[in-house]
Chain A
């Protein structure tokens, strides 16, 4: 669906199933109001997140990418988030040389019980992306063609 003009920007989230995805659920159960921009992709572990997925999203025109996993020492798979931390930190250091503001990508740790923290993270990050504005990537590279669809055009919801 198209980003709601003037309202939303495109923010992609990669969340660990065991902690942050549950934290986002907890936030929902608690009815903690959040901005609507974020779309969450569920992964089994932050260790499953290839930094290149994030690059793919950013080059695809995402205005922001948020990764959230389990707090260090609290990984369901013992060490996934430790690997993730190194990979993501390298990516974060690397992005500026590509001309992508480092603030467009953040990673954080949120546990399944931290609904309020999740609300805070989403709100802060969304505000941060809105402050940065739409990504220059789309202007420079044009809109993404994406995967060919097997069926015709995409109809707007409204």
Chain B
């Protein structure tokens, strides 16, 4: 083999702390290295051309690029060596940026380490062999998990693109958080008026199967061929019969059930359709509050239902779907503000969350769109908004900015003035973050046209005073203490990963960060892809974002799915396990440990042998370790390759 080594400067990113020329010189002494040079930017057009040129003129048969992480540019350089006429798997990378130049400034140690990493890449490459991908059929159906605006957008775009869509929503109606909002910033248009038609489109689209009040139970398989089990939770109402007339709700004697849609303000009947525009518009019984379940007798709804849809004995049902790609759009939940004792820790009825305030503002809310404070129903005159409640605060383990709170607080201050012209709003803020189109202008309007008083500072405490709340804080611009007697305090609670996100991530086999948000494949260049092929992200599941961004990501994820499905067949990664039939003793241990069922036993000239099903194998290599005689080897991660890497390091 004639190996070429290309040591990248990455501008000063690597060259700053690694002597790349010395690494290239040292590489010349490694076995089978025929050519080595340092290059300014190996990933740039001229950088790639230099590699191609060297392969052609020097007759190289393998290439090592020492640059950034292979997780970034391995595909880039594989394409480059392929353009040069080599098999794309005749490439190895040495990660001398993320693992060397960026983690220390000791130039001697870094240079030495970089050369070591090149050496192990060379030793591995010497044992590479050309590989050719296999192609396999795909199921052109997409699963969208989560029916908020991001999931709705992804589902509609995929469906409009001609794909079959399975949309799974945990609650009884799609719409997500957006359906609870009164108006949206910065246009102050009616949330349900812009979302409602999309929800109806979902219901009516011939390509969309909607499972509301359902959760994803189990996912197996791989890109193009996932097997998904969906748990349809027992609603105790036969939805094929329910017409959504609401007669049951009117007569239900348990009117004080938890009203989840209205964020716990007011009460709902135990059998409920959450809101008038619900899709599907079907009732669900909450057995925690239903008398039939608690006391064993009632049956009022069953008597009232004109279609006989009530079924108290209903059980969960599991349905199985064949799926080719998955969009995770599970949204967010709100920070639990009871962690802030200084704001009352949830004990003061007139300290409410911003989403509860949305419900008070909404005409479909519990107060019919009249702002009445929860304690006594009075119209508040002084309303205090406190921002960054559960955002940018390490003390509650929420160091990140939730992004949208500045904007919705401005919107709520404007709406407050609209609803109650003689009211005064106060906004306690840390910084105003309004970087979107028309966003900063919008917060300006809240201050300048609607007279909201913005106070830069944190609130130190809230104490009840008569029937008001004394809000005490600092005005850091004035350098003074501020006290406001508020009738109502609205906490701009931040976003958290939706409950159950880590568990879903585990089912999807994708990564999640310490807060439970799903990790994208690359924060800038692959923002809706995950590292698991065929699984995409949309909306707040990936991190807090506002409606335009969520919709944008929904469409982006759909575009990725449509791009995936535009191929007649998918190519499988050829870095998979292979059985050396001559060495296999047919013990079957590999079969029993393979998580994908990708190995089966075959009869080979009268002897039992293992065989890998090439398109099913995902290349984890568990089998290779299980096989004591080393008959199963994982291509490009063979025992010999890893042993050579180990030996390359242990020689000195």
Contacts and interface: CB of A to CB of B under 8 A. Distances in A.
Interface of A: 1-4, 7-8, 10, 12, 17-19, 21-22, 24-25, 27-29, 31-36, 39-45, 47-50, 53, 56-57, 60-62, 70, 73-80, 83, 87, 111-114, 119, 143-147, 149-158
A47 B625 contact: yes
B113 A36 contact: yes
Contact of A53 (B514, B519, B642, B651): B642
A29 B102 contact: yes
Contact of B649 (A35, A39, A50, A111): A39
Contacts of A53: 642-643, 646
A4 B95 contact: no
Given A1-B26, A39-B649, A50 B637 contact: no
Contacts of B103: 27-28, 31-34, 36, 119
Interface in B615-652: 618-622, 624-626, 634, 637, 639, 642-652
A7 B509 CA distance: 40
A69 B648 CA distance: 22
Interface in B26-52: 26, 29-32
A154 B28 CA distance: 9
Chain A at the B interface: mostly helix, strand, loop or mixed?
A: loop
Contacts of A50: 624-625, 639, 642
A-B pairs, top 9 by smallest CB distance, nearest first, are A28-B98, A60-B650, A48-B621, A77-B620, A47-B622, A146-B651, A113-B513, A28-B102, A36-B109
B532 A76 contact: yes
B460 interface: no
A2 B505 contact: no
A130 B585 CA distance: 44
Contacts of B625: 47-50, 83, 87
A66 B607 CA distance: 40
B334 interface: no
A17 B71 contact: yes
Contact of A80 (B104, B505, B620): B620
Given A1-B26, A32-B103, A44 B619 contact: yes
Interface stretch (B77-85, B115-123, B269-277, B385-393): B115-123
B304 interface: no
A41 B643 contact: no
B190 to A, nearest CB: 38
Interface in B97-155: 97-100, 102-106, 108-113, 115-117, 119-120, 123
Contacts of B505: 74
A52 B23 CA distance: 31
A40 B95 contact: yes
Q: Which of B95, B596, B652 has the most CB of A within 10 A?
A: B652
B647 A4 contact: no
A92 B513 CA distance: 29
A79 B29 CA distance: 41
Contacts of A39: 113, 116-117, 120, 649
A63 B509 CA distance: 34
Contact of B104 (A12, A36, A156, A158): A36
B650 A41 contact: no
A130 to B, nearest CB: 14
A46 B174 CA distance: 39
A45 B651 CA distance: 25
B531 interface: yes
Nearest to A114: B514
Interface string B472-510: 000000000000000000000000000000000110010
Contact of A43 (B71, B72, B626, B637): B637
Contact of A18 (B29, B511, B639): B511
Nearest to A7: B109
Contacts of B186: none
Nearest to A40: B99
A29 to B, nearest CB: 6
A16 to B, nearest CB: 10
Contacts of A112: 511, 519, 531
Contacts of B643: 53, 56
A42 B29 CA distance: 23
B109 A83 contact: no
A76 B531 contact: yes
Nearest to B97: A28
Contacts of B509: 75-78
B70 interface: yes
Contacts of B531: 18, 22, 76, 112
B580 interface: no
Contact of B595 (A35, A70, A79, A150): A79
A56 B620 CA distance: 21
B612 to A, nearest CB: 14
A1 B115 contact: yes
Nearest to A73: B506
Given A12-B650, A78-B509, A43 B31 contact: no
Contacts of B111: 157
A41 B100 CA distance: 14
B451 to A, nearest CB: 43
25 contacts: A2-B112, A2-B652, A12-B649, A24-B98, A27-B103, A31-B102, A31-B103, A39-B116, A41-B642, A48-B621, A57-B649, A60-B650, A74-B505, A74-B512, A76-B532, A78-B596, A79-B595, A80-B620, A111-B511, A111-B512, A113-B519, A147-B648, A150-B32, A154-B29, A157-B115
B69 interface: yes
Contacts of B646: 12, 41, 53, 56-57, 60, 62
B251 to A, nearest CB: 46
B207 interface: no
Nearest to A78: B595
Contacts of B634: 44, 48
Nearest to A55: B646
B645 A41 contact: yes
Interface string B502-545: 00011001011110000100000000000110000000000000
Given A1-B112, A111-B513, A113-B512, 16 more contacts: A2-B652, A12-B649, A18-B511, A40-B117, A45-B622, A49-B625, A57-B649, A60-B646, A74-B511, A77-B622, A144-B650, A145-B651, A151-B30, A157-B19, A157-B115, A158-B108
B650 A61 contact: yes
B288 interface: no
A76 B510 CA distance: 7
B299 to A, nearest CB: 43
B644 A147 contact: yes
A153 B637 CA distance: 27
